Amino acid sequence: MINSKLNAEASFHNRAVAMLNQVQNFEQSNLKNEMRQVAIGALDSVLSKVDHPEHAAKIKRASFLAALDGIRTGAMTYNGDAVLPMIEKEMTDRLTRFKGMSKEEEGKLLSLSAEQRKIVAENDRKMKNEFLAAAPAVSHGTLKMTDAYKSYMQMVHSATK
């Protein structure tokens, strides 16, 4: 009985740790996706300015002159480049919304989606059913041949399907 209790506690502990690890991985994934969206949005904004007919020639000329200066000096310093400051400004503007976030706002931003919660719950259910479907550690062969043991194993097997 004591071994069964310890096994059940260990299984519960392992399931809890697995759930926490999955939640942590999903939160990290959500954070990476949010940062990816910030970077993509900033890049798209800058590229639209670079491609805009009103600004394109001026921006491209400044970048060309900055490249020539880099070739001339032997080191690319981006002095006079118009694109780098635009990217830096866009990134700074987009990242300011993350500064000073409350714990609630941060939690809302990184919280799991309904689909992610469903995955965590399904994986936990699978681990629980695997534990419940496992045969008890019975070392006595005669006990395994009894009708009570066989009916118990049949019940466990059908209950976990």
Digit-coded pLDDT (tens) for 103-159: 888 888 889 999 999 999 999 999 998 888 777 666 677 777 788 877 877 777 676
Rounding to the nearest 10 degrees, give the CA dihedral for residues 123, 20, 95, 48.
Answer: -20
- What are the pLDDT digits (tens) for 16-74? 999 999 999 999 999 999 999 999 999 999 999 888 888 888 888 888 888 888 888 88
pLDDT: is 137 or 77 the higher one? 77
Q: 133-140 long-range contacts, Cβ below 8 Å, gap at least 24?
A: 133/157, 133/160, 136/4, 137/3, 137/7
Query: 87-115 in b/e burial notation, b at 16+ Cβ within 10 A?
Result: beebbeebeeeeeeeeeeeeeeebebeee
State the DSSP code for 85.
H
CA angle 131, 137, 138 (to 5 degrees): 145
**Relative orientation angle of helices 147-159 and 114-133, to the nearest 10 degrees:** 170
Domain borders along the chain are 1-112, 113-161
- What pLDDT digit, counting tens, does each position of 21-31 carry? 999 999 999 99
Give this prediction's pTM. Answer: 0.68
